[in-house]
Amino acid sequence: MPYIPPQQNMVLEAKTLDAQHIFIIGAKSIGQYGGYETFVDKLTEQHQNDSTIKYHIACKANGDGFMDENKLDGVEITKKNRDGSVLEFTYHNAHVFKIPCPNIGPAVAIYYDRAAVKYGIKYCKDNNIKRPIFYILTCRIGPFIEGLVKQIKAIGGIYMLNPDGHEWMRAKWSAPVRRYWKWSEKKMVDAADIVVCDSVNIENYIKEKYKHPHTVFIAYGSDTKRSVLSDDDPKFTGWLQEKSLKTDQYYLVVGRFVPENNYETMIREYMKSHSKRDFAIITNANEKLKAQLEKILHFNSDPRIKFVGTVYDKELLKKIRENAYGYFHGHEVGGTNPSLLEAMGSTALNLLLDVGFNKEVGIDAALYWSKKDGDLAALIDTIDTMDEVERKRLGTAAKNRIKAAYSWQVIGDKYKRIWNESI
């Protein structure tokens, strides 16, 4: 990765002063595992040759999910620390800055977002940037938002918020933390110039709950390109062999191992079904929750239930999705979920929990189940011998749904209109 001297870097920055500058705060990194991480990767890729837009992306320098620029192609290092560590780099023509974070447990997320906003404000002052947009992803820094917004306004800037989903509803949080999330959400929504919602259901909630006058719906994106790996690629066949799985003979779920994603319901119902196929669970398994579910369900006695670990190789994960017989989606909290979009772009048969967030994505290109006892098990038994013509019809409909409403080009164009309309 080439190193650009500070003098040359100043010239490069000067050329972008007339562009619309957008500071995106909230992703831990770029292009690594996670919805926001993929979002900033794809958004900057869409606009990398657009001279009217200049992105500034905050990333974590250390700690959980930190930015490792060595995992990206096309990086140009622009600033290093005295010890040689990278402080800033260019990627997709975006300026990426890394924020060092103290080891303070869960509160580090609040520290990180606040420090990133303050860095952006200082950067605008130092580089004489006019009319910057600060786009903050999720509602972590409510206690500090009023003071930060005053500073953003003082330099002629705009504050936009993406509230994500209903974080305060997530079962993993204790009651005091949930109260904090709800209070922080209110503070951050009330202070926002524009609230960008990645789900129609979330936008309706923001309008009804907070009466916010300026909301807009822009979904998360995905694609329908097939994996670059062939069906007989050793990387894929080796993974299948290691996990004791066979092409078209497994159902799949990919997602965080948290209660609100309804793993308990999916595993229980699968164990009730008569399917001879396996149920492959790709997740960062929380051992405590896993032990709790084993105590309740005794899934270790069912050889079909297979926790197969995590898969961070995007092309391998796409190939795994393509060759699954069907995909389960049990997410109950949140907006437009990246895993769902990626599944609909790759897997023919998608079985979704029947909630508004999922139905607005799947419409008639997916099948739906409830948490009612026996409902999902009956659906599994029904579709396990589904006519292949019907299965392929659903797969085509799912891909067409993604192409029409959720392609990254569509999402990028919508964001560009928002950037232009806001100045």
Q: Kindly list the distances between the CA atom of residue 165 and the CA atoms of 6, 159, 161, 360, in Å, as whole numbers in the listed order.
A: 40, 19, 12, 14
181, with CB counted inside 10 A (0-12, 13-18, 19+), is buried
Distances from the Cα of 357 to the Cαs of 43, 163, 165, 194, 348, in angstroms? 22, 15, 10, 21, 20
Taking the alpha carbons at both ends of the chain, their separation in whole angstroms is: 35
Residue 12: count other Cβ atoms within 10 Å of its Cβ.
Answer: 14
Whole-angstrom distance, CA of residue 139 vs CA of residue 332: 19
What parts of the chain have a pLDDT lower than 50? 1-15
- CB of 158 within 8 A of CB of 133? yes
CA distance 374 to 271: 10
For residue 339, the model assigns a pLDDT of: 87
Q: Dihedral, CA atoms, 293, 294, 295, 298, nearest 10 degrees?
A: 120
Tokens of 216: 């807009």
**Residue 349 Rama label (left phi>0; alpha psi -120 to 50; beta):** beta
**Helices H, strands E: what count in the chain?**
15, 15
Distance CA 31, CA 34 (A): 8
| This prediction's pTM | 0.82
Residues sharing a CB contact under 8 Å with residue 407, sequence separation 6 or more, in sequence order: 221, 222, 223, 224
Q: What is the pLDDT at residue 106?
A: 82
pLDDT of residue 254: 93
